[in-house]
Amino acid sequence: MTTGTIEAPRSDEALVLGALRANINHIDNQMIELLAQRSRVAGDIGLAKRVTGRAIHDPLRESAHALDLEQAASRLGLPARLGRELALLLARHGCAAQLEQPKAPRARGIAPDSESFRLARWEPGRHTVVSVGEARIGAGLHEVIAGPCAVESERQVQEAADHARACGVRILRGGAFKPRTSPYDFQGTGMPGVRWLADAAHSRGMACVTEVLDPADAGAVAEHADLLQIGARNMQNVPLLRACAATGRPILLKRGAAATMRELLCAAEYILVAGNPGVILCERGLRTFERETRNTLDLSSVPALRELTHLPVIVDPSHAAGRDELILALCRAAHGVGADGVIVEMHPRKCEAKCDQRQALTPRQLDEICNEVHLVQTHLA
Ligand code: PEP
Ligand code: MN
């Protein structure tokens, strides 16, 4: 006689798992059908708006809808964040469907003369999503990265992190090594600043991004920062591109103020060819004859880069505008042209900012942007 528990034969386990998977596949297929139905309704809404001359993007309605979905998710025992992220995705795709005019499908090809950035160039089926902490940049959501221009002190970055977190920011920015135009200006707090930034972000559940200026610092910075920034001035600094790529950390690569999109993609290629696939491109404005703004934000680069590359693209309206009062409007525009997010500067005490004071957002201005563009409510799940 034998004793002990009877184990289900493996084939039964496989049967149960197979049935459960079939069930979940069925639910997913139903969701896709509902999404297709939703997209058709969004197209009709777009037509109705065109006929009545109303704007397609309606941030107030999107914000209210995000709150509704967040509460509905909570009521059903799901994380509120799921409701919010779903609202973001739906708003983005809903806008696209509303803008869609009936037309013949466009055949999309690989960019001509693109051998020099063959790893960065768009190809059918390639779509890069870069994970940084909880954020997934390129996954269809519009991420808001925020924080001070410069890490000035431990207290300042802690305060900035509190405000950023309260706004729902998931990636805190802050420059510890500052590439200042004049050598007499504040140059940053160096490695201690990197550690303060990382502590402030990580202790609040956020990730952080900081600029690397010197290839020799890349390894040390990468021990603390989740995302390494290569600034506009250094976009074509090949040793820096290689040193940052070698750390394995994802890289935020800013477009030079006088660089073409193809030059930006060639710079990204240095990182990709070194075996690091995590590149996020950033448009931050070009140097032009215009003096009312610090730089001229080339928003056309966002859809144009989409045609050329599979890499995610974000926008930095702070360094483009150079003035805090323009930033909300430019964030709306970045969202409108389909950017994967924005990176903005916010100082907890604007009047004390040691660097780029004129363009620093106040915490209240950041909150306004996050509520409208990011659709993140100030109370976190
Ligand atoms: C920055 O983001 O801190 C910065 C210096 O930006 P950019 O390299 O775009 O000038
Ligand atoms: Mn700055």
pLDDT in tens, 324-344: 999 999 999 999 899 999 999
266's tokens: 């060639």
- For residue 44, name the pLDDT band (cuts at 50, 70, 90): confident
CB-based contact 228:244 (threshold 8 Å): yes
The b/e string for 229-253 (b: 16+ C-beta within 10 A; e otherwise) is bbbbebbebeebbbbbbbbebbbbb
For ligand 1, what atom is nearest to the CA of residue 282? 9
Cα of 255 vs centre of ligand 2, distance in Å, is 14
What is the chain's length?
Answer: 381
Could you identify the residue written with the tokens 């305060």?
159
User: Following DSSP, what letter does each residue of 218-241 receive, concatenated?
Assistant: HHHHHTT-SEEEE-GGGTT-HHHH
- For residue 29, name the pLDDT band (cuts at 50, 70, 90): confident
Say how far apart CA 245 and CA 268 lie, in whole Å.
Answer: 10
> Is residue 208 over pLDDT 80?
yes
Say how far apart CA 370 and CA 362 lie, in whole Å.
Answer: 12
Ligand nearest to the CA of 358: 2
Cα of 18 vs centre of ligand 1, distance in Å, is 52
Q: Atom 4 in ligand 1: which residue has the minimum CA distance?
A: 231
Determine how many CB atoms are found less than 10 A away from the CB of residue 26: 10
Cα of 360 vs centre of ligand 2, distance in Å, is 8
Say how far apart CA 381 and CA 379 lie, in whole Å.
Answer: 7
Residues with CB under 5 A from ligand 2 (ion): 149, 356
Say how far apart CA 238 and CA 56 lie, in whole Å.
Answer: 43
Cα of 88 vs centre of ligand 2, distance in Å, is 28
For ligand 1, what atom is nearest to the CA of residue 284? 9
pLDDT in tens, 226-284: 999 999 999 999 999 999 999 999 999 999 999 999 999 999 999 999 999 999 999 99
pLDDT in tens, 73-130: 889 888 888 888 888 788 877 777 776 665 666 778 899 999 999 999 999 989 999 9
pLDDT in tens, 56-73: 777 778 788 888 888 888
Cα of 354 vs centre of ligand 2, distance in Å, is 10
User: Following DSSP, what letter does each residue of 17-57 receive, concatenated?
Assistant: HHHHHHHHHHHHHHHHHHHHHHHHHHHHHHHHHHHHT--S-
Cα of 270 vs centre of ligand 2, distance in Å, is 25
pLDDT for 134? 93
- For residue 6, name the pLDDT band (cuts at 50, 70, 90): low
> Is residue 376 over pLDDT 60?
no
Average pLDDT, the chain: 90
- For residue 37, name the pLDDT band (cuts at 50, 70, 90): confident
- For residue 377, name the pLDDT band (cuts at 50, 70, 90): very low
> Which residues, other chains included, contact 316 with Cβ-Cβ below 8 Å and sequence gap of 6+?
254, 282, 283, 284, 285, 342, 343, 344
- For residue 4, name the pLDDT band (cuts at 50, 70, 90): low
- For residue 9, name the pLDDT band (cuts at 50, 70, 90): low
Q: Atom 5 in ligand 1: which residue has the minimum CA distance?
A: 231
Question: Quick check: helix, strand or coil at residue 367?
Answer: helix
Say how far apart CA 241 and CA 234 lie, in whole Å.
Answer: 9
> Is residue 370 over pLDDT 50?
yes
Measured from CB, residues less than 6 Å from any atom of ligand 1 are: 149, 175, 179, 211, 231-233, 254, 284, 316, 319
Say how far apart CA 323 and CA 357 lie, in whole Å.
Answer: 9
Say how far apart CA 360 and CA 25 lie, in whole Å.
Answer: 48
**Residue 125: φ, ψ to 5°:** 85, -5
Ligand nearest to the CA of 320: 1
